[in-house]
Every structure is written in C-alpha cells, then in structure tokens.
Structure 1
Amino acid sequence: MTKPPLTLYLAAPRGFCAGVDRAIKIVEKALTKWGAPVYVRHEIVHNKFVVDDLRAKGAIFVEELSECPTDRPVIFSAHGVPKSVPAEAAEREMIYVDATCPLVSKVHIEAERHSAAGLQIIMIGHAGHPETIGTMGQLPQGEVLLVETPDDVSHIDVRDPDKLAFVTQTTLSVDDTADIVTALQARFPNIQGPHKEDICYATTNRQEAVKAMARQVEAMLVVGAPNSSNSRRLVEVGAKAGCTYSQLVQRATDVDWRALDGIASLGITAGASAPEVLVDEVIAALNERYDLTIAEVETAKESVHFKVPRILREIA
C-alpha cells in the first residue's frame, strides 16, 4: 500500500535548553557522588520521560522537604524554590544542591535588588507554577504581586504607584507578556523593568522557530508535558501564528492520527524539557504512516552551557 506524501518541518532550535540539561546532570552526578537514593524536591524538570528515567537510576521525587530524611542529599528543581526551602534544609543540617536554572536565579536577584531599593515588585507569571512560587518566595509576603493578564493590571492594589518594578516568569509567551508590560507601563509610567528580558533565550528562540514554521504547515505537533509551561506556550504561539491545528503530545502514542488525516505538511517542535529521543520517536511513527520529506526551519543557533555546582564538580 502506497503511503501518502508528507512534508515534515522540524523547528530549530527545539528541545533541551541549557538550564534543563544542567538540572538533569546535577541529579545524575549526585547519584554518582552519593549513590542512591538521592531526593529531588518537585519534578527536576517537567517531563515524565526524564523523571521516570532518573527515578529508575535511584532518584526519589517528593513535593515537600519534610518528606526527605536528613541523612540523604536533596536537590531543588530547575524551577527554583522560595527562600524558606534552603533555610529549612540548612536548619535540618541536610546536604542540598540547588538545580535552579541560572536564568531563573537572575530573576530572583533582580527582585531582591529592586526590593532593597524600596520598590514593590509585580510579577508577570502563572499562579501556582513552581517558578512563580519560587520567585515570589524570595521576598516577604505582599512584596510581590502577581498578574497573569493585561486585565489583571487594572485590578492590582499597589503600595505606591511610583515605586514599582516588574519581573517575569522565564517561560511565558513573548507576545502575551509584551501586552501585559504595555498595560503595566500605561497604568504605572514610572515602573522599572529588567535590564535584560526575563523571558529566557530558549523560550524566545523556540517560539520564534514555531512562528516561522507555522506559516508553512497545516498542523503542528509540540512534544512536551502538559505541566510544562514553555511547551504549552508553543502550542498557543503556533495557533496564533496561523497554524490551524496545534497538538501537545508527550510521546508518539499520544498523537491523534485522525486529526492529521489528509494533511500534506506538518511541523514538529519540542519544549525545553523534552529530550530529542521523544522527537525521534514521533518521527519514526510518522515514517510508518507517510512517505516523508524532511526539512528544517532554523531561526537561531544556541551555544549556551551552564556549569553544575562546585560540590558536584568535586566527585568523590
């Protein structure tokens, strides 16, 4: 039986970013240094395949520090944690390793610097996301106010409209965040922003690749987890950029093949916490059903690398 032709466009860059790569290496190196088990507070990154792989190697994932014994190391996830978490670990005399992405840590430092200058902080982010919780938890309660939409800006109650600064979650939609920043600057003309964009390079680059690809395809698959903010944003960005159908899949078994019936062009990208092996798995599944012609849509090259913490560079 002849397979229907399909032009497959691969977004580049896609998949792992430097912060995710570093966080995974931290868990692996901790297992090498201290042996199993090593505890990890929250999913190290938002991807079930990655978490299951590390669990099989000896990592134990928990949601709260209270679930960890004091005689085993604990790692804090790439999303960052409130200041109270390392303080509690120190009080319990635990060995802990902070896998917070350095670009998230940069936002934490910005917030503290603005607060030290007497400014109240407005954070653009998603309520309940661990990165948002971690950033807001760098300062006392009430010092950071959360907004999720432009409409939220008109309802926030600030202490002094002339003494404000804003920071953002690193994994947001670039375009949606720009709309919120515009609303903030319209209501609070003296508000201070970051010296450099808080939305990280990887989020920005993956969204730009999706925008370029969306104009060439009838449908798009985003490989990533449903609790991954940056992966969900890629689905939204693809739809807004003109791709009529965008689907988030964790792996090939999640693809809704009926929705792809009859298409001649398809785009694939992957969120920053999705390994390339899962993209390869989807491509293999497509190859079984279609006569593929593969092209790459490259909008940027990435060469960012982050070192693991010193305690893990000193392998026993």
Structure 2
Amino acid sequence: MPEPKPNPKPSLRVLIAAPRGFCAGVDRAIQIVELALERFGAPVYVRHEIVHNRFVVERLKGMGAIFVDELDEVPDDRPVVFSAHGVPKAVPAEAQGRGLTYVDATCPLVSKVHRQAERLIEEGRHILFIGHAGHPEVIGTFGQVPAGSMTLVETVEDAEAVEVPPSNLAFLTQTTLSVDDTAAVVGALKARFPEIRAPRSEDICYATSNRQAAVKAIAPECERLLVIGAPNSSNSLRLAEVAERMGVSSRLIERAADIDWDWLGQPSTIGLTAGASAPELLVREVFDALRERFDVTEEIADHTPERMTFKLPRELVT
C-alpha cells in the first residue's frame, strides 16, 4: 500500500501592517544606552525600562546595563540614563545634587510636551492633561510644573465632570494615546470650555498615529490580529483596541511563544503588527512560528515610509 500523504498545512494569508515597530524616539533611546556603554564602560545604570519591551531590556542587560527604579540605587561613580518616557524635574536635580553623570533619553516629542506645559503655566493657565494615570510619561510631565497646576483627565466622563476654573484653561495629551479616544475627550472639553487653549500641534506622536492608522487600513481584511508589544506599552495596547473596535478579535503578545493557537484557530487572513517599542526581529519570530503551522502567504501593506530621526545627545557623539 502507498504511504498515506501527510495532511497539508492550512493556508494562511498574513497581512503585515506598515509602519510598525520601532519609532525614532525608541531607536534613539536604545542607541543612547549602547553609546553610554561604549563611552563609560559597563555597568551603566538606567532609571526604569528604557522603553517598554522586555526583549530590548534583556538585550541591554546582557551588554552591561543595570535597570533600577530610583536614583538611590545608582552608585556615585557610575553614569545613569533616564528612560524615553521622560522624568520629573526632581530626578535630574537629584542627579546633579549628587554629582552623577547622567544622560537624558527622553523622546524629543515628549520633551516638546514638557516645554509646552512650562510655557502654559508661565501664562497663568491651568492644564487639563489627557493621559493614563500612573504611566511614566504622565508622571514625568506632571513633574515639570508646580503641584496643583495640572489636572489629569482620562475619559470623556472625566472631561464632563472635572471641576476647574472655567477661564485660562489649556489641554495637553500623552503622546501614546488612542487617536479616536483622545478626539472624543477633547471634544467634551471644548464643549464645556469653548475658550480652552489647544496645543499648537498634535501631541499624540506621529508613530502612534501612523501605527493606529495602519491597523485601521488592514483590519477590514483580517479575521484575527496579533500585536507584538509589552503589556505595559500604551501604544501597543491601543493597537489591539483599534482592531477590536473594528470587530477584529485581537491579542497582544510579547513573543511567538505567547500565541494562543486555540484562539487563533484556522483563519484565512490575519493581521500582524508591532508597537513602537517592539523590534522587527520579534515580528519575524512570530511570522516563522505561523509558518510552522500554516502554508503562509506574506503581504506587507502599502505605506509611506517614516523618515523621522532625532539627534543623539552631544556628550555621546563628540
């Protein structure tokens, strides 16, 4: 009798969103840690995760970076890097007071929000800050201005209930929010406070907006969506939410080992994307895992390449 033929793998079209993965601020922050290790030698201390991605953090640990929660864990004779999310003013002030060598890896787009906050307070305005409580970027931005001069608004309900003087108001936003949710919150604030001052330009960063738009572009063709990113990554969580709101069941995973194959089932088309802190290496790892179980056809969505770059700190490149 002839040998029975093995069952063929089910076909699967994998539609890969673009743009995806690393943004210019994340690239810059990682380079800063790498350059600091070259310049100062190991160990270099990093206050908080440099970016929200375990794979990135573990790789930098392997190169000699030590991640700490606060400056009191940093020895006096070693340099420290501040994370891409930004820090309150008190942190560099403490570092200076101790005579520590420090390098600030705050994303320039986050720093832009910090400077806006300072200018608005100088103008005598109270700021309504749209963001997520407890996120490092929110903590860092609140730490730029005097206590009580900024109020956190997370939802439309918050915007409709917040109690602040109705005049001399302004709003700013976290850079990694849902574009649609933020528009709704801003609409509620403007309805209550028609004279509220808006930012000169959008605070939500280009990478967050572009990655959400990329998910919206592919979602109508997908039965499932995999988002590669950390569970504490705001921009990655928003990508899964965008797809869910369009009726596409989505899962946030850190690596290929996290794929729930029972949940995935045997769809004909799935989407694949990555948050701004997830390296392309992990996208390929997930794709390879899919290829082990499926006869995969890969398609990368049409897109306009991102060309944003940020300068590195002078002290590391001179």
State the TM-score bracket (shorter-chain normalisation).
over 0.9
Contact 1:205 1:300 in 2 (8 A): no
Taking the aligned partners of 2:76 and 2:194, their CA distance within structure 1 comes to 49
Comparing 168-177 and 295-304, the one that deviates more? 295-304
Taking structure 2 as the reference length, what is the TM-score of the superposition?
0.97
Tell me what 2:62 maps to. Answer: 56
Taking the aligned partners of 1:23 and 1:179, their CA distance within structure 2 comes to 31
1:124-147: CA deviation from partner (whole Å, max 9, x where unpaired):
000000000000110011111001
Contact 1:65 1:89 in 2 (8 A): yes
Unpaired segments ≥5 residues, structure 1: none
Q: By how many angstroms is 1:307 displaced?
A: 1.4
Which one of the candidate residues 191, 197, 200 is aligned to 1:195?
200
Larger radius of gyration: 2
Q: By how many angstroms is 1:241 displaced?
A: 2.1
Letter in 2 for 1:187: R
DSSP-derived class of the 1:12 partner: coil
Letter in 1 for 2:126: Q
Which one of the candidate residues 175, 200, 204 is aligned to 2:209?
204
Contact 1:208 1:299 in 2 (8 A): no
* Aligned-residue identity in percent: 62
CA RMSD of aligned residues (A): 0.7
Taking the aligned partners of 2:176 and 2:303, their CA distance within structure 1 comes to 18
Q: By how many angstroms is 1:295 displaced?
A: 1.0
Q: By how many angstroms is 1:294 displaced?
A: 1.1
Q: By how many angstroms is 1:113 displaced?
A: 0.7
Tell me what 1:96 maps to. Answer: 102
Q: Structure 1 runs of 4+ off > 2 angstroms?
A: none
Taking the aligned partners of 1:54 and 1:311, their CA distance within structure 2 comes to 20
Tell me what 1:303 maps to. Answer: 307
Tell me what 1:34 maps to. Answer: 40
DSSP-derived class of the 1:14 partner: coil
Letter in 2 for 1:279: V
Count how many residue pairs are aligned between Structure 1 and Structure 2: 312
Letter in 2 for 1:230: N
Tell me what 1:214 maps to. Answer: 219
Q: By how many angstroms is 1:242 displaced?
A: 2.8
Taking the aligned partners of 1:32 and 1:308, their CA distance within structure 2 comes to 14
Establish whether residue 241 from structure 1 lines up as the match of residue 246 from structure 2. yes
Tell me what 1:130 maps to. Answer: 136
Q: By how many angstroms is 1:262 displaced?
A: 2.2
Taking the aligned partners of 2:64 and 2:51, their CA distance within structure 1 comes to 16
Establish whether residue 263 from structure 1 lines up as the match of residue 267 from structure 2. yes
Which one of the candidate residues 223, 230, 236 is aligned to 1:231?
236
1:246-302: CA deviation from partner (whole Å, max 9, x where unpaired):
000000000001111121100000000000000000000000101111111234320
Taking the aligned partners of 2:99 and 2:172, their CA distance within structure 1 comes to 32
Taking structure 1 as the reference length, what is the TM-score of the superposition?
0.98
After the TM superposition, which residues 60-79 of structure 1 pair with which residues of structure 2 at under 5 Å, given as runs? 60-79=66-85
Tell me what 1:288 maps to. Answer: 292
Letter in 1 for 2:180: D
